[in-house]
Amino acid sequence: MIIVTGGAGFIGSNLIASLNQMGRTNILVVDNLEKGDKFLNLRNLHFADYLDKREFRQALLGDRYKNIPFSAIFHQGACSDTMEYNGLYMMDNNYSYSKDLFHFAVAKKIPFVYASSAATYGSSTTFAEHPDNEKPLNIYGYSKLLFDRYVQRNITNARSTVVGLRYFNVYGPRENHKGRMASMVHQLHAQIQQTGHARLFTGSGGYGDGEQRRDFIHALDVARINIKLADYPSPIQGIFNIGTGISRSFNAIVENLYKAMERPPEKTNYIPMPEGLAAKFQNYTQADIAILRSIPGLSFEPMTLEQGIAAFVQAKKEGL
């Protein structure tokens, strides 16, 4: 059986969809469906069982799973709200919970692939996996960084795969539930659909209007690399960046959305960045994926922004 925490969420549900395409359905989905409409992400997916994240944690700590032969754990569950300021909640949910799952996986020698984040780099302008570049700007980024460091200190005791993936700007289907935390691709698509034009921030950090740049990667590419690493023929351990390795502007997203939506481009409205956001806004990210690509036999060729947005728009037409 495979465990997917955060399985009803954005990346988790795309991961389950990818597993299903491979014929793999013996999956335990762990999430919290107390609020919102994340359950919609699960309607067309196939899995063996669902468990609330609190009940799952109790079962884990109570050793109820000691005799179940899990083949992989994909730990995607976390609070990813960068505007969440409750440090007590964030550290328990993202850090302590992750430690519990890490120790379980290592003790049982189960491949453990978990979601870290490019938010660990924060204000840095260099995005290689090195402590000198780790400068988180919020408690979310710090909670991810602290767990990465915990894993790095304890990974020498592992005899199985333990991999942390620092996701850059992920977009794709199945993020309708995310609200203000949805990707800019999702938000700009909705703006164009509803108003006919897009809204972007005016220039900041030395970049012109809408020219702030990020490394945008499609959720299905993220899902595929999760599975490849869990299925790797020998134990693999480390923290790896997951992006395309190419930085693109927000203006480029708008341009490609109009093209994929087959709509004539309209003038983009540029609005001032809110004062509270400016100090925490990453004006530029670009994943250094050299270490990931150095893994022998691991092919990783993510979609271009043009290909990814075309796939995104098609998925929207299909109701995802």
Taking residues 170-181, what's their average pLDDT? 94
Catalytic, 97? Answer: no
Considering only residues 137 and 25, tell me which one the structure prediction assigns the higher pLDDT: 25
Percent of the chain with pLDDT over 70: 100
Long-range contacts of 62-67 (CB under 8 A, 24+ apart): 65/104, 66/108
For residue 261, is pLDDT > 90? yes
Per-residue model confidence (pLDDT) at position 160: 96
pLDDT at 264: 93
- Are the C-beta atoms of residues 176 and 122 closer than 8 Å to each other? no
pTM of the model: 0.95
pLDDT, mean of residues 271-277: 87
pLDDT of residue 262: 96
- Average pLDDT along the chain: 95
- CATH number of the domain bearing residue 229: 3.40.50.720
In a domain, 271, yes or no: no
Residue 122 maps to a domain: yes
List the catalytic residue out of 121, 140, 142, 258.
140
In the predicted structure, residue 238 carries a pLDDT above the cut 90: yes
Of 5-14, 185-194, 249-258, 280-289, least confident by mean pLDDT is 280-289
Find all residues with CB under 8 Å of 151, minimum gap 6, and list them. Answer: 102, 162, 164, 239
Is 280 tagged catalytic?
A: no
> Closest by alpha carbon to 176, among 32, 16, 14?
14
Is the per-residue pLDDT at 107 higher than 90? yes
Q: Are 69 and 48 in contact (CB under 8 A)?
A: no
Looking at residue 111, what is its pLDDT? 98
Q: Give 246's pLDDT tier (boundaries 50, 70, 90).
A: very high
Q: Which residues, other chains included, contact 175 with Cβ-Cβ below 8 Å and sequence gap of 6+?
A: 10, 182, 183, 186, 219
The C-alpha atoms of residue 132 and residue 128 are separated, in whole angstroms, by 9
pLDDT at 275: 81
Instruction: Answer yes or no: is pLDDT of 276 > 80.
Output: no
Q: What is the pLDDT of residue 280?
A: 75
Q: For residue 22, give its domain range.
A: 2-171+216-244+289-302
Average pLDDT over residues 155-179: 94
Residue 219 pLDDT exceeds 90 = yes
Q: Which residue has the higher pLDDT, 79 or 290?
A: 290
Annotated catalytic residue: which of 99, 135, 178, 259?
178
Q: 83 pLDDT exceeds 90?
A: no
Mean pLDDT of 254-273: 96
Note whether residue 180 is domain-resident. Answer: no
Tell me the C-alpha distance between 136 and 113, whole Å. 22
- Note whether residue 264 is domain-resident: no
Question: Per the structure block, which two tokens stand in for 269?
Answer: 């409205």
Q: Label residue 85 by pLDDT band (50, 70, 90).
A: confident
Average pLDDT over residues 33-62: 94
Closest CA to 79 of 159, 134, 15, 144: 144
d(CA 39, CA 176): 11
> Is pLDDT above 80 for 124?
yes
Location of structure tokens 């468990």: 51
The answer to whether 298 touches 292, Cβ cutoff 8 Å, is yes
Residue 14 inside a domain? The answer is yes
Is 94 part of a structural domain of the chain? Answer: yes
Q: Which pairing describes strands 213-214 and 248-249: parallel, antiparallel, or unpaired?
A: antiparallel
- What is the mean pLDDT of the segment spanning 95-122? 96
Looking at the structure of the chain, the number of domains it has is: 1
